Structure 1
Amino acid sequence: MNSEATIETQRAASDLEHDGTDAGKTDKPLGLRVDWARLPGHSVEVWLQGERVARGVVDQAAEDNSVLWIAAEGISTRRIFDKSSGYQVWL
């Protein structure tokens, strides 16, 4: 990867906003994400009721931030998660 691509990737990641809830107070990654529509291509963790249920790259997300899909990897199939069921996404 060339330096321009690396800088652009870092800039895109830093442009994503999070709400900062409990950041650094648990073993969860950097921050809770509420802007699911901006996450395709990013590695995330999906949590439900305080437990990590999935980790992977966001394949696609609804424009209204209601659902997202984690890309298939290895023998795992593509998975969908919906915000209304209580899933949280951490970047």
Structure 2
Amino acid sequence: MNFQATLEPPGDVNDLGQDGQGGGTLKKALGLRADWARLPGRSVEVWLHGEYVACGVVDQAAEDGSVLWIAAEGISTRRIFDKSSGYQIWV
């Protein structure tokens, strides 16, 4: 997972490696997810208006996909994010 904050969310295309020609190991880049209800147990990144907010494992999600909770880790507490506020989830 990309833990480096950038000004735009990660793309949803394959990473071709350092040479740009696919000679290295292909790895799937992060993709935007609209159906939050299907994400419990998945590692995700949270973005808001093009800025990285958080990452972690989805602990729980509303059945209608309107909100999800990222599990507490270390000193971080469990956090809730709601889709209507503009948050985006990338897997």
Alignment TM-score > 0.5, same fold: yes
Matches within 5 A, 1:2-81: 22-24=11-13, 29-81=29-81
Counterpart Cα distance in 2 of 1:81 and 1:55: 12
- Superposed CA offset, 1:26-77 (max 9, x none): xxx5200001000000000000010110100000000101000000000000
Amino acid at match of 2:72: A
* Superposed structure 1 runs of 4+ greater than 3 Å apart: none
Counterpart of 1:9?
Answer: none
- Normalization by structure 2: what TM-score? 0.70
How many percent identity over aligned positions? 82
Superposed displacement of residue 23, structure 1: 1.7
Q: Tell me the SS of whatever aligns to 1:37.
A: helix
- Structure (1/2) with the larger helix percentage: 1
CA distance in 2, matches of 1:23, 1:59: 24
The structure number with the bigger radius of gyration is 2
Q: Which runs of 5+ in 2 are unaligned?
A: 1-10, 14-28
1:34 and 1:87 map into 2 onto residues whose CA distance is 10
Q: How many residues align?
A: 67
Give the TM-score normalised by structure 1.
Answer: 0.70
Partner SS state of residue 46, structure 1: strand
More strand by share: 2
CA RMSD, 1 decimal: 1.4
